[in-house]
Amino acid sequence: MSRKDDLERSIRDSYEIIREYEDQIRIASRPEEKARARRAIDEQWTNIEGYLAEYLPLAGGPLSEEIAQIAAHFSGPGGLSVPAGSPSQVPCQPFEPEMVWIPAGPFLMGSDTGVDSDARDIEQPQHILYLPDYYIARTPVTNAQYLACVQATDCQPPEHWKSKTPPKGEEDHPVTWISWHEAVDYCEWLAHVTRRSYRLPSEAEWEKAARGTDGRLYPWGNEWDAERCNALESGVGETTPVGAYGGRGDSPYGCTDMAGNVWEWTRSLYGTYPYDPGDGREEMDAKGRRVVRGGSFLNSRVLARCAYRPGYFPGRRMSYGCRVACSPSPGPVA
């Protein structure tokens, strides 16, 4: 047997072990049993990454569908290079979000009273902020995506779900009535099962994805239009499926539902401007209010502005959902 064949067998064997441990997690009743299985899964992923690093240069052409699916966990900018022509398997799991790349560079953060008559003091001063590149989900997390975490027993279902399932017919609506802690739990679960570094976006990452670099008031421009999003003035009165407004309400990067529908938790503590990621506001263990963004179907156009930034205590649940980010690329978790 050649070295290439031997490595391919090792990759398949390790992946099969991962699936067996995932089954154990689903049926385990004690936290220590789940923790033990997760450590074993992490060990197997580390083995697979080593096998792939040696295997891919020997592949000599497109990968099989199974190997391509496994390798996709480590692909992306800065990850392993998969041979051209291999089957595309990103995202790998049906519950993984579609991600949008936000290029590195400066953008206008906050509000200018000369442009926005609704600007609040907490949104000022408007300033130029540079961000490295990152990925952010095109849509908020849906009920169907969140359900996968609930079924894995890693997430608590929202209180209005009956029998731990979302309302019938609302599978593609954004999940809502989750706390900041539950949003973080979801991101950590998603990162673990996919081996990708999913997390909540900072409020700066959220704002750049929503408005682009030119400081526009809404994702589509400076003029309010109730036909482009689900806000109070739109008259819908409840959540709508993600992407229901098509491209009409999308941001310059193609992100949807960044104005209205549901509020979205960010990882950031509520603080004054100028925004400084090094001042402690991105500390995940720190206590205090966390920033939500985007407004909801219950709120007016003023709250749907890209720069509007209230802060709430992390245990609060209302019309709050979340959107995931990934930095610097959707590659493997460290």
Whether 74 has a pLDDT exceeding 70, the answer reads no
Write the pLDDT tens digit of every residue in 260-273: 999 999 999 999 99
Strands 263-269 and 320-322: parallel
319 close to 177: Cβ distance less than 8 angstroms: yes
Identify the pLDDT of residue 85. 58
SS3 92: coil
Whether 229 has a pLDDT exceeding 90, the answer reads yes
> Given this structure, which CATH class describes domain 99-326?
alpha beta
Identify the pLDDT of residue 273. 97
Amino acid at 283: E
Query: Average of pLDDT values for 171-184?
Result: 97
Q: Which of 33-37, 90-94, 183-187, 266-270 has the lowest mean pLDDT?
A: 90-94
Identify the pLDDT of residue 26. 66
186 close to 322: Cβ distance less than 8 angstroms: yes
Identify the pLDDT of residue 236. 96
Whether 332 has a pLDDT exceeding 60, the answer reads no
Read off the pLDDT band of 77 (50, 70, 90).
very low
Q: Determine the angle formed by the axes of helices 3-27 and 31-59, rounding to 10 degrees.
A: 160
Write the pLDDT tens digit of every residue in 136-155: 999 999 999 999 999 987 89
